[in-house]
Amino acid sequence: MNYSGGGFFSKDQTQGNGQYHHLASALEIDQRRWQALFMDQFSYLPQSSFGFGGASGLASPGITGSLAAPSPGLQNGFVPGQSILAATGPRYSNSSAAQLTYDVSRRGSITVGGVHGLLRFINSGNINSDTETLNVGYNYEITRRDYLGVVYRFTAYHYPGGPQAVGDHVAHLAYGRKITGRLALNLDGGPDVTTFRVPINGSKQRVSGSGAGSLVYAFPLTTVRLNYTHGVSSGSGVFSGASTDQVSAYWSRPLTRVWSGALNFGYAKNSQIVPVTGATSPSYDTWIPGAGLTRPFGRTTNLSLGYQAQIQNSNVALCGTANCGKNNTTHQILLSVQWHAAPQVLR
């Protein structure tokens, strides 16, 4: 179980003063032929979680950097989307997940999982959402370096107080390869069928494609992660369902004996799942570049310094007033001092 929290002060009347909290827990059970994993992630943030904290480590529960203990986490596709910065104000989100993996043979395994997520905004004018996901997959190791898999996933999006509900059916073929001992590639994609409780342009269904890819390069002194996803999301508090493309990149390595450096980049494009005939279909482009420095002090304290820009471009005004522009850029300087107690072993 990991927790982190903090506060901030701002002269910006819109932002004001505030606080943030992260809490994450995980329980893993390993047996000879099956493994069970239970996770829960909660956050209360003053702004979007997309790029929150940059490379400073503020976005992760508990302490980060060289003092951090490895812990499992949910992929972006299984947590409530928040990649549109036009949804403003404090919000809290929670995702609970359970997953069971059973080894049917020496090379094959079946995985069944479920996730429940929610996103709630404190301020009015944003769209709250509930998300339920069921995931079933089969993986087969072709060689020591290659695997193939098939995945079916159903996600239901509900919007409390609103009439719309979205159901998303995905069937993916997955491929993974361990290119070297420290370089890994994962790809998956396939058809995507989306249904609507309230018809859009007279249609209650849309057929499209979705997919994802990741590349991880891990050496003793350098880590590089690249990720891309395309598919349906909850709408980030702006839409009742959205078509989303998201890219993230991360690089880190030690710079001196005690200091480590990191660069992060995020990009997301969100638009309505089905454009409305005769009206301007809003779309949002979000850019999150950042950099950070981290160093430990002893075995229990970590210091992080960082910079991040949040850039939002749209074809519509970013707020409901006439004098509101279509573009907005925010610069952030981040400072984090993290302390944790010595780990306790429960027997």
pLDDT band with cut points at 50, 70 and 90 for residue 69: very low
Q: What domains does the chain contain, in order, with CATH numbers? A: 2-339 (2.40.160)
Residue 320: pLDDT over 70: no
Q: pLDDT band at 68, cuts 50/70/90?
A: very low
For residue 57, what pLDDT is reported?
A: 63
What amino acid occupies position 159?
Y
In the chain, the largest separation of any two C-alpha atoms, in whole Å, equals 64
**What are 99-115's pLDDT values in tens digits?**
999 999 999 999 999 99
Question: Percent of the chain beyond pLDDT 90?
Answer: 56
Given phi > 0 = left and psi -120 to 50 = alpha, else beta, which region is 343? beta
CB atoms within 10 A of CB 271: 17
State the Cα–Cα distance between residues 302 and 294, nearest whole angstrom: 7
Contact indicator for 130, 118 with CB cutoff of 8 Å: yes
Computed on alpha carbons and rounded to an integer, the radius of gyration of the chain in Å comes to: 21
Secondary structure E strands in the chain? 2-8, 18-30, 34-45, 91-103, 108-121, 129-141, 146-158, 165-178, 183-200, 203-218, 223-233, 242-254, 260-272, 283-297, 301-314, 327-339
Give, as one character, the DSSP assignment of residue 116.
E
CB atoms within 10 A of CB 209: 12
pLDDT at 134: 96
More confident position, 4 or 61: 4
Q: What's phi and psi for 113, nearest 5 deg? A: -145, 155
Specify which of 81-90, 153-162, 313-322 reaches the highest per-range mean pLDDT: 153-162
> How far is the C-alpha of 116 from the C-alpha of 118, rounded, in Å?
7
> Which token pair is 220?
């003793």
Mean pLDDT, the chain, integer: 87
Average pLDDT (241-253) is: 94
Inform me whether the pLDDT recorded for 342 exceeds 50.
Answer: yes
Model confidence band, residue 248 (pLDDT cutoffs 50, 70, 90): very high
Instruction: List the single range of 110-114, 152-156, 260-264, 337-341 with lowest mean pLDDT.
Output: 337-341
Q: How far is CA 130 from CA 127, 138, 162, 209, in A?
A: 10, 27, 12, 23
How far is the CA of 85 from the CAs of 111, 114, 326, 337, in angstroms?
A: 34, 28, 12, 26
Going by pLDDT thresholds of 50, 70 and 90, the confidence category of residue 267 is very high
Asked if residue 290 has pLDDT above 50, the reply is yes
Tell me the sheet residues that pair with 41: 24, 95
Neighbours of 199 (CB within 10 A): 10
Task: Give the residue carrying structure tokens 């043979």.
Answer: 105
**Contact between residue 260 and residue 294 where contact means Cβ atoms under 8 Å apart:** yes
- Residue 77: helix, strand or coil by DSSP? helix
Number of neighbours of residue 15 by Cβ within 10 angstroms: 15
pTM of the shown model: 0.86
- Band the pLDDT of 274: cuts 50, 70, 90: confident
Supply the pLDDT for residue 193: 98
Structure tokens at 102: 């059973």
- pLDDT per residue as tens digits for the range 125-167: 899 999 999 999 999 999 989 999 999 999 999 999 999 999 9
How would residue 321 be classed by pLDDT, with cut points 50, 70 and 90?
Answer: low
Q: Which residue has the higher pLDDT, 59 or 86?
A: 86
For residues 64 and 294, the answer to whether their CB atoms sit within 8 Å is yes
Cβ partners under 8 Å of residue 263, min gap 6: 55, 249, 250, 251, 252, 290, 291
What percent of the chain shows pLDDT beyond 70?
88
**Residues 261 and 290: beta-carbon distance below 8 Å:** no
- 113 and 135 in contact (C-beta within 8 Å)? yes
- Digit-coded pLDDT (tens) for 12-53: 666 667 888 889 888 999 999 999 999 999 999 988 888 777
Q: What is the amino acid identity at position 104?
A: V
